[in-house]
Amino acid sequence: MTELSLPAKAYLLACDVIHDSLRDRRRASLLIRGAAMTDLVLRGRATDTDGRVTLSGAGPTGDLVLDELLAEIAGERPRKWKWWVRKDARGTLEALESQLDAAGVLELRTGRILGLFPSRRPTVRDPAVVDRLRARVDQALRGPSPVSEVDAGDAALTALAAAVELRQVIPGRDRRRYKERIEGLAERGGDAVPALRKLFRELRAVRASAAASSGGS
């Protein structure tokens, strides 16, 4: 893998390189699926038609995860962005992990917790790659360049990280401080970013409700 795809970059940002873990796989799965959809937009392979995803261009991208997603979209009737970001997000996450493992970007250790529940623990082989990605996000968010001059991939990556509230990448105080800039960066990434933001807010609300219910019982 000579060049990391946008979902691969998003995955590495979500990794805890100190503890060799992916802290929140549900959050990460939505992030990766949203990043994959956004990558197709940036490559000119997916576009919006009346609020629904349609394909443009022809031929494979050369990336297995993205090509699988292209095939999924081609086999379905036009659907809204939110539907596509949610659909089989876990499967896309696991496919990406296997791809990165095969490419030597990470070492994926699989097993079972208590002999029952499957576990997947990623070890990023070169943590400096994560440091460089975080630096690019930092520059996109806090740098002097106007939003219009920020690299489209960096703009999308930053907006995606903010959408799922990756605190280790963009702390809450920075999401609030740079709210308008994040919105501008998100516009560079297309319709998958706001769809991802809505899905994550729904997930957060469900978790908050479950926590409140368990606390009251």
Residue 142 lies in a domain: yes
Q: What is the pTM of this model?
A: 0.92
Q: What pLDDT, on the 0 to 100 scale, is given for residue 213? A: 76
Burial 50-84 (b: 16+ CB within 10 A, else e): eeebeeeeeeebebebbeebbeebeeeeeeebbeb
Question: What is the C-alpha to C-alpha distance for residues 184 and 121, in angstroms, rounded to an integer?
Answer: 35
Residue 204 lies in a domain: yes
Range of the domain at 153: 6-208
Q: How many domains does the chain have?
A: 1
Show pLDDT as tens, one digit a residue, over the chain (217 residues).
568 999 999 999 999 999 999 989 999 999 999 999 999 999 999 999 999 999 998 889 999 999 999 999 999 999 999 999 999 999 999 999 999 999 999 999 877 766 666 778 899 999 999 999 999 999 999 999 999 999 999 999 999 999 999 999 999 999 999 999 999 999 999 999 999 999 999 998 988 877 777 765 5
Q: Whose CA is closest to 33, among 138, 160, 125? A: 160
Residue 213 lies in a domain: no
> What CATH number is attached to the domain comprising 26?
1.10.3630.10
Residue 216 lies in a domain: no
Q: What pLDDT, on the 0 to 100 scale, is given for residue 132? A: 97
Residue 214 lies in a domain: no
Q: What pLDDT, on the 0 to 100 scale, is given for residue 110? A: 79
Residue 147 lies in a domain: yes
Residue 215 lies in a domain: no
> Helix, strand, or coil here: 36?
helix
Question: What is the C-alpha to C-alpha distance for residues 69 and 84, in angstroms, rounded to an integer?
Answer: 9
Q: What pLDDT, on the 0 to 100 scale, is given for residue 61? A: 95
